[in-house]
Structure 1
């Protein structure tokens, strides 16, 4: 079916340039030492980011971004798709010239992301297919400068993002590649050899960091033992000596250490535990529930509604996580209208309710036992006390909202974000009863979730309790 692979050239002479000096800083290349590094504050404060899956798989745009792998496995839908639409002998590499990106306008993308309320953007620099979206020194003829767009897609987006003061730039990188001959050689040797990480994957990481200086290094694909990748050596360099050592954050996908090590845990795709974790974590999830990359064979029911997205966002932030929401551009560089609409809707909601999201910490309670569709966040105010935000995903029935987790004092005040007048309340034995404004929900500031701000409650806790 697939009779040739992309041409890989391992530039051994380039390896010297990307070999770090380990141990020059105070983090040693072991997990005990690396886990002691405090996470840079910007990441926990940001709360919401945009993920972008874009590559050669955006050309067939069928099934998912795992198109090549599933075709190679001879799965019937993929085999039939190729038989119907492409001539005999057509290979996956033949898709690359059609990855054209002629409508790719990084400034327009960044405007969309900024309007969504996101505070960081993570672009796939390379997925498991091995195609690099930058002119990598170790990916000859299988990168976006040599074939397809003939552009540095990573570099152009980095420049556009850095024009915005409130956006951080991040990069996803797959450590492994399905069909790279060096990886297959190591696999055949039961990973007792390390040709692929030494000559291909790890040099790419050094190249990405030194060239583009990302504030997020989002690793993926490292399902083998971490000793094969020698991940702690790279991370020690990243934290001690790299140009982003003071700002960079990394996830937990550096081998078989998921949900164990890393600045933030992802554990698995769409991770949303529904309760507070003792470690910073991130929920990465696609708007198209069936794929991370753009796909043509989808329908409306596959896209999350704005109500579903806001629910996921609120649950995630309340439990101490960040939300990284994914869009998949087309092969020619467009973010399709339904993705743009969802991002605009999230941005509209955050313009009203962002105070309850950005820079917040989990409260002593994450949700409320009396009101199932209500989640809490909290934030220290200028007076040094703590404001609590009660985010309800359903407008209170008959205008009455009862909070079982909150107890008022004589100084308590209740307001509704986006509404100019104070809100009345009454403390009862069964909870704090809030009298929501008697105005039609159609004229409320935003109709996908509402936030009541509670000041000077009885509940107190050490604010640092939930610093990650």
Structure 2
């Protein structure tokens, strides 16, 4: 993933409606790095994550900034998919780990290990999990920064023979995902390819300058994106860390939009006219502005990190809170999961996604197809946090903290006149309430995490 987000043009094309309706996607980061599957974990990363988390209103990754003590998240990144870069920095935690675990084996030596492991993979468990999580689109990786191709491309790597899978895992997963009603997008690292240049990257500030600038690479990246469009008709072009200007991205966008009229393009080409913005491990503080999608792993890595246990994994209830905070402010949530080399998802990530899906199965009306209300968030007099969404004239108030009996209405709803109120997943209408005073306790639903959602019909005018 990206370590920084330079300036970009604001989207100007009308956004295809399906993307604004979808709200939830899953990114799958799988490649050679899934063999060593290791990155250091450091409490300082948790602190940086908190600084760039809810309400931070930054379109930058928390991995992008070194602190006052010189702690640079590139050298000690928790992103396991950056393994090749990290192991190339003498003295780094990953360099020490690699020497102790693999001796003098090189990163390229993982190629055969990975190709053998892929033979055990089936696309069905991935598709089943993403559907169970309630995702409406999926974005697997076609190429990460190491340049290894996850499909049998007609444009092979000119510097490293056999630097691609023979098995078409992209095509197999696309078929399995689309059979379950999910749209299929593709991630491609257009800005960094270490088989061409700039390995290693030593400082976070150098990431944006690491794009190979040769005509050879421009032609190579352009050929790949065009092949991916022709072969898979992706619903999302999810590029990362820039793009060589000589590849003429505007022409690529025009070709894509002719081939896939309702497809969407992210802003990380850093050129042209994107459809949405992609803050990483960060959310907006308010609604409004261009369409956005926050992207983050379920843990502190996108790729599989064998060190991450439940303590480093976002729980199902916390994913629900994150989703509702993002959706209330007009965003989508793209959650990253990292399979091991054989394609297995960790039990911790699997459980978290299924909990999220169980919640959406009950409360999806507050999410899918919804839009931001004129107010995104609120608190009751008791301090309970509330997030608002609106759909088809109804207002949905998601209580991030469980209400008790007789809880007062949030201030924005105190003037609601003769509103019909329903706790989603309950036995029926709470009643027609003026001022929403004295709401009863919401139902307890075994196997479904909090929060609880109150539907208010019709949506009142906020005070």
Residues 375-418 of structure 1: per-residue CA shift (max 9 Å, x gap): 000011xxxxx100000011113341422112555542001101
User: Secondary structure of 1:310's partner?
Assistant: helix
Equivalent residues in 2 for 1:44-443 (5 A)? 44-63=20-39, 64-88=80-104, 90-99=105-114, 100-140=117-157, 146=162, 150-164=166-180, 166-181=181-196, 194-222=214-242, 227-239=245-257, 241-242=258-259, 244=260, 246-255=261-270, 262-266=274-278, 268-289=279-300, 291-370=301-380, 371-380=383-392, 386-408=393-415, 410-424=417-431, 426-427=433-434, 432-437=436-441, 441=444, 443=445
Which deviates more, 131-140 or 413-422? 131-140
CA offset at residue 126 of structure 1? 0.5
CA offset at residue 354 of structure 1? 0.3
Q: Compared with structure 1, are the counterparts of its residues 274 and 75 closer, same or farther at alpha carbon in structure 2 (3 Å cutoff)? A: farther
Q: Corresponding residue for 1:450? A: 452
Residues 92-117 of structure 1: per-residue CA shift (max 9 Å, x gap): 11111111213311122111111111
Q: 2 CA distance for matches of 1:200 and 1:395?
A: 53
Q: Corresponding residue for 1:20? A: none
CA offset at residue 435 of structure 1? 1.3
Structure 2: runs of 5+ lacking an equivalent? 1-7, 40-79, 200-205
Q: 2 CA distance for matches of 1:140 and 1:178?
A: 10
User: Secondary structure of 1:367's partner?
Assistant: strand
The count of residues paired between Structure 1 and Structure 2 equals 404
Residues 268-312 of structure 1: per-residue CA shift (max 9 Å, x gap): 3112113113111001111112x1100112232111112211110
Structure 1: runs of 5+ lacking an equivalent? 1-30, 381-385, 462-468
Would you say the 8 A contact 1:128–1:174 is kept in 2? yes
Q: 1 CA distance for matches of 2:164 and 2:102?
A: 18
Q: Compared with structure 1, are the counterparts of its residues 296 and 179 closer, same or farther at alpha carbon in structure 2 (3 Å cutoff)? A: same
Would you say the 8 A contact 1:69–1:178 is kept in 2? no
Residues 28-79 of structure 1: per-residue CA shift (max 9 Å, x gap): xxx98x9432111111111111110011110110111101111112243222
Q: 2 CA distance for matches of 1:449 and 1:171?
A: 32
Cα-Cα RMSD: 2.8
Q: Which has the larger radius of gyration?
A: 1
CA offset at residue 255 of structure 1? 2.5
Q: Which of residues 1, 7, 13 in structure 2 aligns to 1:37?
A: 13
TM-score for both structures, normalised by structure 1:
0.79
CA offset at residue 148 of structure 1? 7.8
Residues 330-359 of structure 1: per-residue CA shift (max 9 Å, x gap): 111112222211111111000110000000
User: Secondary structure of 1:314's partner?
Assistant: helix
Would you say the 8 A contact 2:418–2:432 is kept in 1? no
